[in-house]
Amino acid sequence: MIKGVKGAPDILPEDSGKWRDLEAVARDVLGRYGYAEIRTPVFERTELFIRGIGEGTDIVEKEMYTFEDRGGESLTLRPEATASLIRAYVEHNLAAKSSLVKLYLIGPMFRHERPQSGRFRQFHQIDAEAVGSPGPSVDAEVVALLHHLLEAWGLQTISLHLNTIGDPVCRPAYREAFVAFARAHSADLCLDCHVRLEKNPLRILDCKVPACQQVAAAAPTISAYLCAPCREHFATVRSLLDRLKIEHTVNERLVRGLDYYTRTTFEFLNPALGSQNAVAGGGRYDGLVEEIGGPPTPAIGFAIGEERILASLAMQSSVPEGAHYTGVYVATAGAEVFPTAFELAQTFRKRGLRTAVDMEARSLKAQLRQANKDRYRYSVILGTDELARGEATLKDMVSGEQLGVPLGEVVDRLTRLPIREYA
């Protein structure tokens, strides 16, 4: 047997409905905030991610699925959506349409990480980006949108961590102070952080190794280095969130793993998920559009990990999976009645009902067992004698009640039921 690739799980039929529901809610809420869907290819030129995400990041250094195509070009399966989306924004001059362009993208992303609970090599993101405005009200609206989405899905126990990492004016001085401190304590740092110290020192701040966390806790903090405009920007974002009663914790160690961020960064965490507890993350990236070849354009966005949202919902759910019964199962007793059953099933489907009909000439008992297993709300049973009398039996699969009905009335009776009983 050829098995699927490690870390790239299948989404089976019993689960796909949850994905559809999750995405339907997302599309509805994103639409209310004026976001339009964009779909970009799952692969791009490798250079886009190297330039966009940054050479010293874990994603670019260790996690990309990069390959040479038959034409000798280096391509990479997208590890995230922001760089692709901004590439499309620049390439198609979407700036001409509006001074603030709001886009979202839903789809699979690929990172060669070590698979573990909540961490996959193919995973799915709902990504939203607001491109064109430097104003702090956009930051607050983006965070509020993400908060709204989590609320609409019914997520509980989620906390919001917020930070600012300054901008090219004030971050260099902070970085310098941080590096000096980290060098002085390098004996306490893990091996990975030694490399980070050279390549991407601020990532030491969110290393999970306890000794590194101790160093990080004692290190200089960004707030002492922020320039006045960055400080003001952050204060406005926070006060607008307060106005919407969106609780948040300032976490000065939230630097995030991609190089493009400036000023506001944020993550929504679900502690119940264990080590991979970030259900969504994002931030402002005022330099990326220019980095990718567009005009200087400020932007901000986020991405939600769909697997982690579904895992969070599954943990808090008390309703048994797929508990509701819908639709009609047309059961037959005797091969002669099959053509009538076949036709009846087609009529039900055209009238909007989920319908199944047995095609394997199984025993009536086996058919009703199947109807129950597949959670059909009603069965219509057709037997040779009944059919000769122009009758069928209607069985309520939840209560078990049975009733003889003239064949000509079956469709009308079932399609007149309240919609939730059969849809």
Q: Applying CB under 6 A, which residues contact ligand HAM?
A: 80-82, 111, 113, 119-120, 123, 125, 127, 129, 257-258, 278-283, 285, 301-303, 305, 307-308
Question: How far is the CA of 293 from the CAs of 46, 86, 234, 266, 289, in angstroms?
Answer: 15, 10, 28, 26, 7
CB of 3 to ligand HAM, least distance (A): 19
Nearer to ligand HAM, 121 or 395 (CB): 121
Cα–Cα distance between 376 and 394 in angstroms, integer? Answer: 12
CB of 119 to ligand HAM, least distance (A): 4
Amino acid found at 241 = L
β-bridge mates for residue 104, sequence order: 37, 128
CB of 128 to ligand HAM, least distance (A): 7
CB of 95 to ligand HAM, least distance (A): 17
Question: How far is the CA of 235 from the CAs of 160, 168, 283, in angstroms?
Answer: 16, 19, 15
CA 175 vs. chain centroid, Å, equals: 32
Residue whose C-alpha is closest to residue 403's, from 421, 423, 385, 378 = 378
CB of 384 to ligand HAM, least distance (A): 55
Nearer to ligand HAM, 241 or 357 (CB): 241
Nearer to ligand HAM, 266 or 422 (CB): 266
Nearer to ligand HAM, 279 or 397 (CB): 279
CB of 333 to ligand HAM, least distance (A): 50
Nearer to ligand HAM, 155 or 278 (CB): 278
Q: Residues with Cβ < 8 Å from 385, sequence gap 6 or more?
A: none
Nearer to ligand HAM, 44 or 127 (CB): 127
Residue whose C-alpha is closest to residue 268's, from 235, 241, 303, 314 = 303
Nearer to ligand HAM, 229 or 257 (CB): 257
Q: Residues with Cβ < 8 Å from 1, sequence gap 6 or more?
A: none
CB of 2 to ligand HAM, least distance (A): 23
Both tokens of 320, joined, read 């048994």
**What is the phi/psi pair of residue 129, to 5°?**
-135, 135
CB of 85 to ligand HAM, least distance (A): 8
CB of 227 to ligand HAM, least distance (A): 22
CA 156 vs. chain centroid, Å, equals: 16
Nearer to ligand HAM, 80 or 391 (CB): 80
Please work out, in degrees rounded to the nearest 5, the angle formed at the alpha carbon of residue 309 by the alpha carbons of 148 and 323. Answer: 100
Cα–Cα distance between 290 and 295 in angstroms, integer? Answer: 5
Cα–Cα distance between 32 and 136 in angstroms, integer? Answer: 20
Strand 328-333 versus strand 378-383 pairing type: parallel
CB-based closest residue to ligand HAM: 305
> Order of strands, edge to edge, in the sheet holding 264-269?
36-37, 101-110, 122-131, 299-305, 278-284, 264-269, 159-164, 249-250
Nearer to ligand HAM, 58 or 252 (CB): 58
